[in-house]
Structure formats: structure tokens, C-alpha cells
Amino acid sequence: MKEQLSEIRREIEEKIHTFDSSRSLYEFRKIFLDNKEGKISLLMKGLKDVPKEERPAVGKSINEVKEWALSLFEETDREIHKLELERKIASEAVDVTEPAVKTRRGGLHPNTLVQNELIDIFASMGFEIFEGSEIETDYYNFTALNTPEDHPARDMQDTFYLSPGFLLRTQTSAGQIHVMEKSRPPIKILSPGKVFRSDDDATHSPMFSQMEGLVVDRGISVCDLQGMLDLFSQKIFGQGVKTRLRPSYFPFTEPSVEVDVSCFECGGKGCKLCKGTGWIEVLGAGMVNRHVLENCGIDPEEYTGFAFGMGVERIAMLKYGINNIKTLFESDTRFAEQFAD
């Protein structure tokens, strides 16, 4: 028995420092201390076969070896844990002086920037947002807007018809009708959205964005329209910018006007941007045609209103000096990056 105990001691001492993980040390520990199969546990179990008078002394020796082994394994395990932790810390070390890897930051598209700016300007004047749908019926896009059957705007070359009676809206003006059908004056809405036309060159795209405004109430006059336009132009193009109304024609307004702003590039002296005229055309507007009000059940004797519509890409192109509308749709990050703030 004594020999067996010394053998166990020797075996443990010989190998205990060769382990570098708690896991392998634990496996080694089991060889001696496993409750059922461990060499020391088996010796304990064999105690019953030892002559009675020797039993206390042998039992004591086994216990001593057991205590010794337990504390040695515990201490070694602590050391290994410490080493493991040190290894982990070393492997996860962060060099705080190392330059950071640069991440690319996204930014808003110039069209979105302008659209947001326009919405903010009109919202600050009390306009509510109405978003219509891109698929419209012929009635909302044309008929209710006083655009007769034989109007050239209905031509297949301009309008994308989906099926008889259904089309991709060619103007956000369609939103005016939806709003006036559903609500009564006072009405003050802004309707932003995409519109579609079969048109394609440096300044036209088959899909572009518009923003439509509509104000209907008692006593609304051209003066209200002009006042609002002055404020709007200065906010979007800068202080000192003036507006000018030129007679025009739209089926849904009477009178209709084309709105110019004084050139914010040259201050009105004449330059490339304003083609030497000192003025830049920015939007269409007018007093809501009485037939349009009637179509929506609003009495034109009691109420009047003004409406306006502008192309968002056009405003973005003017504001940022972009000369080809296509650059706004190409998703070229070298172009878009220039607008990131």
C-alpha cells in the first residue's frame, strides 16, 4: 500500500507541470481523484481488506496523499487559469495608437436634400403634406383638372398609359383633386412625388419629382400667391432674390403664370446661368380655375385659390449648378459625395 501511495505521488509530481490548459489538467486529475475510478479513491475502497489494526494508519496515509493531491491540483489549476487569462489578454490586445480604419459615410442625395428643404420651407408656412399615388386615373390626372380629351398633354407621346383610363401620373396636380374632393376650405397642402412623362434629354427625364402646392379659402388672390412666392424664393435661393410673374397657360388655372426669379448667380446683370436675361424660370402657378373647384364640389363664388407646381430636379440643378439631369439618376458616388455634409 505504501508503495502504491509513493508511486501515485511520483506519477503526479512527474507530470503535473506539463499541462497548459485546465481541461487537460482536469483529465489528469480524474486518473487519481475520480470518485469511482480514481487511483486514490480505489485505495480508499480497498481499505476494508487491510487488517483491522493497520487500517487507521493506512487510512491516514491515504488521506494525507489525497489532501496533498487535492491542494496541488487546486494550486496548479489556479496557475493555469492565470496563464490562460494572460494569453487571452495578450491575444485580444488593442493598440489604441493605431490609426482607425476609415468608414465611408453616406449622405443624402442632392434631390432628397432639395426636396427636404422645399418641404421644410412650405411646412414653416403652414402647408400640410399630401402624398398621392403614382398610378392615377385619366380623370384625376386630366379631366378633373380641366384638361379636355383632345388636349396635347394626353398624347400617347407624353403620357405613359397603363391601360385605358389608367396612367402613370404626369403631374402632382392630380393631388389637388383628391384633396379638394375629401376636404373643405381652408385648404393648404403640398403634394410632393414622382411623375412620369415620355421625355428624355439633358434637362428632361422620363421620371422626375414634382412638388405641388394648393391654397383654397375665402378671398385668396394673386397677391397672396405673389407674397408666398417672394418668401419661398428668398428662402431657397437666397436673400435679395426677386420674383416676376409672366402670363402663361395651364388648363387648371386662370389666370396662369410662369414664375421667374432674379438670377441668384449674377444678381440680375446677365450671365451664362440666366442666358443673359437676368431671370430664371422656376415654376408654374395660377389662380385655381373655377371649373376645377366646381369639379370638386367647391363653390367658386365663395372660394378662390392658387396653385403652383415645380420640378424638384430643376431646382436642384439650378441650386447646385448641375447641367445634365441624368447625373441625378446615375447613382455615381463620385457625384453624390460632393453633396455630403
- Chain residues binding ligand DAH by CB under 6 A are 171, 173, 212, 250, 253, 284-286, 307-309
Least distance (Å) between residue 271 CB and ligand DAH: 26
Position of minimal CB gap to ligand DAH: 309
Closer Cβ to ligand DAH, 62 or 287, answer by number: 287
Least distance (Å) between residue 250 CB and ligand DAH: 4
Residues ≥6 apart with Cβ < 8 Å to 126: 188
Closer Cβ to ligand DAH, 76 or 233, answer by number: 233
Closer Cβ to ligand DAH, 76 or 159, answer by number: 159
Least distance (Å) between residue 202 CB and ligand DAH: 18
Closer Cβ to ligand DAH, 115 or 173, answer by number: 173
Sheet holding 304-311, edge to edge: 128-129, 187-196, 207-217, 304-311, 279-288, 253-262, 243-250
Closer Cβ to ligand DAH, 236 or 307, answer by number: 307
| Per-residue three-class SS string for 196-248 | ECCCCECCECCEEEEEEEEEEECCCCHHHHHHHHHHHHHHHHCCCCCEEEEEE
Least distance (Å) between residue 235 CB and ligand DAH: 19
Least distance (Å) between residue 285 CB and ligand DAH: 5
Residue type, position 164, single letter: P
**What are the residues facing 321 on neighbouring strands?**
none
CA pseudo-torsion sign 158, 162, 164, 166: negative
